[in-house]
Chains A and B, each alone.
Chain A
Amino acid sequence: MNNDKKNLLSTNQLTFLLTGFTLGPGFLRLPNVVVKEAGQDAWISGIVGLIYPLYIVLVSSYIAKKHSKENVLTLSRRYFGNIVGNILNIIFMLQFVLYTSTIASEFIRILEVYIVAFLTPIKICIVGVTLALYAAYKGLKVLGKISELISYILIFIIIFSVAACKYGDMLNLQPVFSTRIIDILNGIKSTCYCYTGFESVLLFYSSVYDVSTIKKASLKAVLIAGSIWVWTIFITIYYLGIDIIPKSYWSFIMVFESIHIPVINNFRYVVMFAWILIIVRILANYYFSSAFIINDMTGIDIKQVCLIMYPLFLYLPIKFKDNILREKILNFAVPRFVIFNILLITLLALMIFIKSKAYQKSNINQKTLNTE
């Protein structure tokens, strides 16, 4: 068994690793934020909003095809110069750090309310972040494996929500297509927080065993994640109706409360159990990416970086538990990060395209010179 195959990600693992960056706690709240803007057509916003991840994935696979051995950090240094490239990398890293903290704080909030009301936030934070540290410490391949396993569990749980179909009503979704376009566009804007995460493919495509399948794998990831999101919005509106959704802070969980199984009092707890696994997985992924970028920029061994960042990641989520602070920072940062990502990737792709065209032209010139 050659070492490469063992240490690099398989295609399946890349797919699930990518979904492991995006399917996080955000989508419990996804119906809330989108329905606020778009009403009962929120699922249309959900589908249209998938353009953003699709774009990122397609452009990234183009970059990956051209430079399959180097990740985005080296590339930005190469094309934009050392200093500018490093600054761009730092901004890139900042979003991972930010998202790690917000995901951890979301983790604490959900658990505090629903399961372990008797624990203080710092204890929950310690448990979650330590587990994420342990997984990130073990490296990318382990992250790929657990992402795969836990994604299967996630899909299995989502299938259970189909049971809510029995109690809902198509009437809740109607009238279709009656909201204004501006509302739908606003809805798309609010999906951004949930749909970010696919940029991580830029960091990890060099660690994939079979480079030619990156495009297919990441498209599959967008498909899986996208269908889960749209289904979430759809089934929540179907079951609850747009008037009730704002009343619950995490409306998707209410959908699971409609399932009645004989022995289990409240199916929500089974979902919560799977949820903890899912959130720690995404936390570990983001943790690892932040450490990965820092390791790339400074050269410190990645395991040391993980340990060094541990206190930071214990402090920030507690800070972000304050709802108002979190909302302010997220509202400020998320749209800007999204635009930054799109610009960065587009610029990079353009420059690669121009350079390769120039290279081709110089090749042709060489050839014509040689033949003369």
Chain B
Amino acid sequence: MLTLNTRSDVSIDRGMTMGIKLENNINFVVKEIGNGSPIIIKRFFIGKDEPIEAVTMYINGLVSKDTIDRDILNPLMLHVNENLVIDQNTVDYVSKRYIPMSNTTIEENINNVVEAIKSGKTALFIGDLEKFIILDTTGGEHRTISDPLNESAVRGSREGFVENLETNISILRRKIKDKNLTIENFKVGRRSQTSLVIAYIDDIVDKNVLIEVRKRIISIDVDFVTDTGMIDQYIEDSAYSIFPQIYVTERPDIVKADIMEGRVAIILDGTPFALTAPAVFVQFFQGVEDYNDRTIVASFSRILRLIAIFIVITLPSLYLTLINYNIELIPVKFINPIIESRNGIALTPFLEILSMEVFVDFLREGGLRLPPKIASTLSIVGGIIIGNMAVQSKIVSPTTLLIVGISVVSTFLIPNYEMSLSIRFIRFPMLVLADILGFLGIAAGWLFIIIHLSSLESFGVPYFSIKSSDLKDIFIRAPLWKMNKRPKSIPNNNSVRQSDFRKNMRSNKNE
């Protein structure tokens, strides 16, 4: 289509065809990006005597305009003191000579140009040439790297992932400088086209697991994806299981450790939560500080955690069974205080414990989303006053409140949030089972959990397997310098991760 350009009559035979192709390209890009997108088109001239028309296109808000003004428009508009030759090397020449930017690429496919513009890059069209320069000017406002809010550690780095994918990848690359660290890009979501990245170490990861992860990600066919939680649910093995099969975390040091053991990390643009697959049951109970603290105290915390898990699941149900059915089991010294405290209580034991558990969960859920000032009022009013008054008005007995309180406090020991949700949930069916079947119900509940765990799989890796060589890291935490091999429960190609270097230290001491 002919367009009349006031300056093009300088060299009219070239100008006619030049203008047409350029306009075609511009219209194509605008159409592909869609109506209503704030794409900015800046037309300008390059060259002194025989200026060539050039166009930059970018989407407002995704770029840092300073970079465009300073590094693209300034040199091209003001400092090109020669006449450019129009041939196939022009674009290359211009990019190498006049654009003082670190990240430029030459694209020949206009579709990729569209993609790039949508990610916040700037496209530079020079004349009618079919080669385009893509300049990385991504900017815009993002959250800075800060303390991960939900998983803070006493001793460990304070960095947490942010919403920007580039920043997250950069954090990861800073931590792992191995040349085998591979990062693959995907786009998920038909309409949202969110960038997804999987990261793994090439010579450690097991190829079958990798193929499985890739296959599942590629097969996701939805409109949009907001958070890795959705990806988690789309690709996990058993959707109806209580236990999470993919590990979610906000901390880069956990992701780094996981990748080093042979797992695959999945990071999504727009959310600070990263996934690592495959996951095994015991890793949900290993916290970051376990590895940063010393052996004996870290083993002690591990053992405490183990005890806490049993307490959470079993204690309220056991208490219910003892009071309801198996009174002869209550230790002789406790029988009188328990009966005295239960005298005159209005509710049956089952309803009592259930109502207290539900109430405590109300408190917890309510406190999740409150602004901090109201949260403290909630804890005082809810926890102390209502609890106290419930006892005094004989709705519940003090022993019950104590038991429920202990089990609630124990849930706080579980490091991973998803797993603590699961364990909190298990309490309720266990309580119901204990009510209808007594002692047999508790045993049946535990059996059910064991059988279910034994049959779960996460990306082809058995979920619950305790291998004797991995025992160093499950119930206790053996000294770090003894963990020479990677854990066997995650399949990997390269199992040696450290050597017996402490031997050398000790022999030096003797000399």
Q: Determine if chain A interacts with chain B.
A: yes
A-side interface residues toward B, CB under 8 Å? Answer: 1-2, 6, 111, 115-116, 118-119, 123-124, 127, 131, 134-135, 138-139, 142, 145-146, 149-150, 262-266, 269, 272-273, 276-277, 280
B443 interface neighbour in A118, A119, A134, A276, Cβ under 8 Å:
A276
Across the A-B interface, give the 5 residue pairs with the lowest CB-CB distance, nearest first: A276-B443, A1-B491, A145-B454, A138-B455, A142-B455
Do residues B460 and A277 form an inter-chain contact, with CB atoms below 8 A?
no
Query: Does B186 sit within 8 A of A, measured CB to CB?
Result: no
* A1-B208, A1-B460, A266-B328 known; A142 vs B440 contact (CB < 8 Å): no
Question: In the assembled complex, which residues on chain B have CB atoms less than 8 Å from the CB atom of A123?
Answer: 437
Given A131-B448, A263-B331, 9 further pairs, Cβ under 8 A: A1-B208, A115-B440, A134-B451, A145-B465, A146-B450, A262-B331, A264-B331, A265-B331, A269-B439
Question: In the assembled complex, which residues on chain B have CB atoms less than 8 Å from the CB atom of A150?
Answer: 450
- Chain B contact surface mostly: helix
Residues 417 to 440 of chain B near chain A (Cβ within 8 Å): 437-440
- Chain A contact surface mostly: helix
Question: In the assembled complex, which residues on chain B have CB atoms less than 8 Å from the CB atom of A124?
Answer: 440
Do residues B438 and A272 form an inter-chain contact, with CB atoms below 8 A?
no
Query: Does B326 sit within 8 A of A, measured CB to CB?
Result: yes
Query: Does B230 sit within 8 A of A, measured CB to CB?
Result: no
Question: In the assembled complex, which residues on chain B have CB atoms less than 8 Å from the CB atom of A116?
Answer: 325, 437-440
Give B488's nearest chain A residue, CB to CB.
A1
Do residues A266 and B329 form an inter-chain contact, with CB atoms below 8 A?
yes
Query: Does B470 sit within 8 A of A, measured CB to CB?
Result: no
Residues 207 to 234 of chain B near chain A (Cβ within 8 Å): 208-209
Bound Cα distance A251, B490 (Å) = 46
For B, the interface residue count at a CB cutoff of 8 angstroms equals 31
Do residues A1 and B461 form an inter-chain contact, with CB atoms below 8 A?
yes
Query: 5 A-B contacts, Cβ less than 8 Å apart?
Result: A1-B209, A1-B461, A119-B438, A119-B440, A146-B451
Query: Does B447 sit within 8 A of A, measured CB to CB?
Result: yes
Bound Cα distance A149, B446 (Å) = 12
Do residues A265 and B329 form an inter-chain contact, with CB atoms below 8 A?
yes
Bound Cα distance A135, B449 (Å) = 11
Question: In the assembled complex, which residues on chain B have CB atoms less than 8 Å from the CB atom of A277?
Answer: 443, 446-447, 450
**Shortest beta-carbon distance, A302 to chain B, in Å?**
15
Bound Cα distance A296, B209 (Å) = 33
**Shortest beta-carbon distance, A272 to chain B, in Å?**
7
Query: Does B206 sit within 8 A of A, measured CB to CB?
Result: yes
* A6-B462, A119-B437, A265-B332 known; A142 vs B451 contact (CB < 8 Å): yes
Against A, the Cβ 8 Å flags (1 = close, 0 = not) of B449-485 are 0110011000011101110000000000000000000
Query: Does B353 sit within 8 A of A, measured CB to CB?
Result: no
Bound Cα distance A203, B319 (Å) = 43
Give A149's nearest chain B residue, CB to CB.
B450
A269 interface neighbour in B209, B329, B461, B465, Cβ under 8 Å:
B329
B451 interface neighbour in A118, A138, A266, Cβ under 8 Å:
A138
Query: Does B390 sit within 8 A of A, measured CB to CB?
Result: no
A273 interface neighbour in B209, B442, B454, Cβ under 8 Å:
B442
Question: In the assembled complex, which residues on chain B have CB atoms less than 8 Å from the CB atom of A276?
Answer: 440, 443-444, 447
Bound Cα distance A263, B335 (Å) = 12
Query: Does B110 sit within 8 A of A, measured CB to CB?
Result: no
Question: In the assembled complex, which residues on chain B have CB atoms less than 8 Å from the CB atom of A146?
Answer: 450-451, 454
Give B335's nearest chain A residue, CB to CB.
A265
Question: In the assembled complex, which residues on chain A have CB atoms less than 8 Å from the CB atom of B491?
Answer: 1
Question: In the assembled complex, which residues on chain A have CB atoms less than 8 Å from the CB atom of B208?
Answer: 1-2
Question: In the assembled complex, which residues on chain B have CB atoms less than 8 Å from the CB atom of A269?
Answer: 326, 329, 439
Residues 235 to 257 of chain B near chain A (Cβ within 8 Å): none
Query: Does B351 sit within 8 A of A, measured CB to CB?
Result: no
Question: In the assembled complex, which residues on chain B have CB atoms less than 8 Å from the CB atom of A131?
Answer: 444, 447-448, 451
Bound Cα distance A266, B450 (Å) = 26
Bound Cα distance A115, B327 (Å) = 11
Do residues A280 and B465 form an inter-chain contact, with CB atoms below 8 A?
no
**Shortest beta-carbon distance, A291 to chain B, in Å?**
16
Do residues B325 and A145 form an inter-chain contact, with CB atoms below 8 A?
no
* A131-B444, A134-B451 known; A273 vs B460 contact (CB < 8 Å): no
Question: In the assembled complex, which residues on chain B have CB atoms less than 8 Å from the CB atom of A2?
Answer: 208
Most buried by B among A1, A119, A145: A1
**Shortest beta-carbon distance, A167 to chain B, in Å?**
20
Do residues B438 and A135 form an inter-chain contact, with CB atoms below 8 A?
no
Question: In the assembled complex, which residues on chain A have CB atoms less than 8 Å from the CB atom of B209?
Answer: 1
Query: Does B330 sit within 8 A of A, measured CB to CB?
Result: yes
Give B318's nearest chain A residue, CB to CB.
A273
* A263-B331, A265-B331 known; A118 vs B438 contact (CB < 8 Å): yes
Give A2's nearest chain B residue, CB to CB.
B208
**Shortest beta-carbon distance, A138 to chain B, in Å?**
4
Most buried by A among B329, B332, B442: B329
Bound Cα distance A115, B443 (Å) = 11
Do residues A145 and B464 form an inter-chain contact, with CB atoms below 8 A?
yes
Most buried by A among B206, B328, B330, B450: B450
Give B464's nearest chain A residue, CB to CB.
A145
Question: In the assembled complex, which residues on chain B have CB atoms less than 8 Å from the CB atom of A1?
Answer: 206, 208-209, 460-461, 491
Give A5's nearest chain B residue, CB to CB.
B491
B439 interface neighbour in A135, A138, A149, A273, Cβ under 8 Å:
A273
Bound Cα distance A61, B330 (Å) = 50
Bound Cα distance A123, B444 (Å) = 13
**Shortest beta-carbon distance, B209 to chain A, in Å?**
8
Question: In the assembled complex, which residues on chain A have CB atoms less than 8 Å from the CB atom of B325?
Answer: 116, 118
Question: In the assembled complex, which residues on chain B have CB atoms less than 8 Å from the CB atom of A273?
Answer: 439, 442-443
Give A276's nearest chain B residue, CB to CB.
B443
